[in-house]
Chains A and B, each alone.
Chain A
Amino acid sequence: MSLLELDLAQAREGLATRAFSAVELTTAYIEAIEASRDLNAFLLETPEKALAMAEESDRRLAAGSNRALEGLPLAIKDLFCTEGVATSAGSHILDGFVPPYESTVTSQLWDAGAVLLGKTNLDEFAMGSSNETSYFGPVKNPWSQNKADEPLVPGGSSGGSASAVAAKLCLGATGTDTGGSIRQPAAFVGCVGMKPTYGRCSRFGIVAFASSLDQAGPMTRTVRDAAIMLQHMAGHDPKDSTSAPADLPDFEAALSGDIRGLKIGIPNEYRMDNTPKEIIDIWQQGVDWLRSAGAEIREVSLPHTKYALPAYYIVAPAEASSNLARYDGMRYGLRVDGEDLVDTYEKTRGEGFGNEVKRRVLIGTYVLSAGYYDAYYLKAQKVRTLIKRDFDKTFDDVDLLLTPTTPFTAFPIGDRVDDPIKMYLNDVFTVPANLAGLPGISVPAGLSEGNLPLGLQLIGRPFDEATVLRAAGVLEEAAGFDAVPPYLTSGGRA
């Protein structure tokens, strides 16, 4: 059996028992990545660094001083700053930028012994739901429609990470999730993707999009692998004032497989008009699975759900317009010289930002500008309070919520780029958890009529990732999703 078939927990076992070496495992992934460049999942491959890290892991494994993630090859979304390794955020404006520091999340992964395979493609500054806004071109989903040869999007913004996990180009990948950017692509490619509670993972060294919403999380083949990765991504960090000094439970140990008596809410408002029958059906299937496993199912109401998306499209662009003000071409990245200083700024940002980033910065500038602040930004923050109250009230009665992850399956590249609002609707089921800062996970649950992955989402109480993961493990077991993307079976790989 190819080493690539092992999931992260199995590879950890194989390395610990010396069934194979970290260099052998890393080499297998380097070769797979080279043979899969047509997916455009990686913006930068770091094979030399990976092998050096794997050699160090082999020394430690031989000496018996191996760390928790020793020798496990991972891919990193190119939104995480990596010291001495170029970081682009999928944007032209960061041309040539090589961070002189490491993000806290990635530094924790390396301290635990993980191996860096490379940096993955993403929507520019994580603004997108299909990975099509990347300056470096779209990513292909390893899944495709029956007989159709038109490539599909892997979702976004963590599209490169999603595609890399689904095509077995890494054991796991980091993602970031501002409005669904981990969970939606996870659903589109049939992998597990978890957005932890806001404040669970440090944002230090992650290129900022919307600071009150951004959160890092793992994308993996299994729920257990997500628990293992999250353990080493999470934790309080003095370098991020919004990172929470909360206790870090043993997430892997939480996977007891026992959800008897757990109360799970089914929010009525997620049953939206035009949601395809196959999405409603898999949702009902998920309800049945959890009930069979001993959970108590309750209908619940989150009345402000439909307002989450429009509120998000005020709050996120407002924060983005402020965060992206730093890209002025002076100290790093692209500079386009103009006639005077303002002209230089305008030309640099005009050329350096793509259309979606420009749209959002302009919307954000507008809603924060004099005379419009109360009508838009303040209104959205009030609606956000109402959305959070809906969740708080519901979590008095239930332990978790079960919903579909997305209102539809992966769509063809180019299909929706001309319609921003239609694109935004991708995140209708994922955005509420970001606005309320709650942990959520997407678990692959089955295939659509068109043979594309369908995901189910579990949302939990703040800092209760352990319960989210425990129920996700039960869902995963019941679904038994073992379908393989056509890219891996029909010889798509070069």
Chain B
Amino acid sequence: MLNLKENLEAPLPRKTEIPSLSNDAYRKACREQIDQRVKEINQHYQKSASEAWKHYVR
């Protein structure tokens, strides 16, 4: 049974606000290569999911 009571009574730790969970290097990589790779993967998936799995997940 999922008993959360004990955990949820504990106060949340002190947090700091951040603009994003990623950084500039990630966004740059998206523009330069990741977006293109995602597009290619999506095209493979549209043809065949099993083929896409063979090509992209190591």
Whether both chains belong to one complex is answered with no
